[in-house]
Amino acid sequence: MTPRLATGPVSWGVDFADTPGNPPWDVVLDGARTAGYAGVELGPLGYLPTDPGRLRNELASRDLQLIAGFVFEPLHRPKELPRIVVAAHRVAELVAPAGGTHLIVIDQIDPGRAAAAGRAERAPAPTADERRAVARAIRTLADVAGAAGLTAAVHPHAGTHIEFAAEIEQAAELAPICLDTGHLAYARLDPVEWLRRLGDRVALLHLKDVEPRVLARGLSFWDAVAAGVFCPLGTGCVDLSALARALPPLAWATVEQDRRPGGDPVADLVASRCALETAGLGVPA
């Protein structure tokens, strides 16, 4: 089963809803459709319209389908969990009525981990309390997702407490995984191996590529993003043909290119889509 392709606001550099320099949300939705994508993810809560009916109408007018929303919060801080749960309910209560199916759970980037992102030998190991907090948060947010009719999917991410092999394995025991090829490659893990290793625990797929020359510079995570560590698919180190051979049956795959606002996101997304279609990894919109 070849997945349909979605993208999201992060490909325009939108990591947080209130960041100065974010492009207008309608530019992102128009650009996603212009680039040939059939679906989108919500991005940070408060960026796209927050009324489910309006959001549904804006997407329908562009023939786009909502796939998922995310919670990008410090799961490793136990005192933050009540606030995180409130945020998760808000996302779920927008995503489900607007037609989405998944709540993506991402630990927020931690300064100490971000400084050593991608380098397991240098990253400070999570404490026992942090491991317990992450596990509790995953279980709690999975319940929030389920109550809204959504499936939770934990997203391993560079610079967080769910980045390297043991951390991913722990998360996969608690909830399905949103496997991100770029963040795995950033952590020096083989996305194809992990796709096979996790098997039916993979609920969602994020397709992203990594520029190895930038990765080799050993920058902190946000500096690496600014330097262009994530690049159009087919131009970095992720083996798309091998991914296509290992791909489980998934309805959707989301193409992302984390970046700072600027450049030409639409052109990059077109290049990524063409590379995926050539590799047999995407159905044209």
Does pLDDT of 278 surpass 90? yes
Contact 196, 249 (CB under 8 A): no
3-state secondary structure 51-97: CHHHHHHHHHHCCCEECEEEEEECCCCHHHHHHHHHHHHHHHHHHCC
d(C-alpha 159, C-alpha 151), whole Å:
24
Residues sharing a CB contact under 8 Å with residue 248, sequence separation 6 or more, in sequence order: 195, 199, 200, 202
At residue 282, does pLDDT exceed 90? no
CATH 3.20.20.70 for the 4-279 domain, yes or no: no
Domain extents for the chain? Answer: 4-279
Q: What is the pLDDT of residues 184-229, one digit of tens each?
A: 999 999 999 999 999 999 999 999 999 999 999 999 999 999 999 9
Tens-digit pLDDT profile for residues 89-134: 999 999 999 999 999 999 999 999 999 999 999 999 999 999 999 9
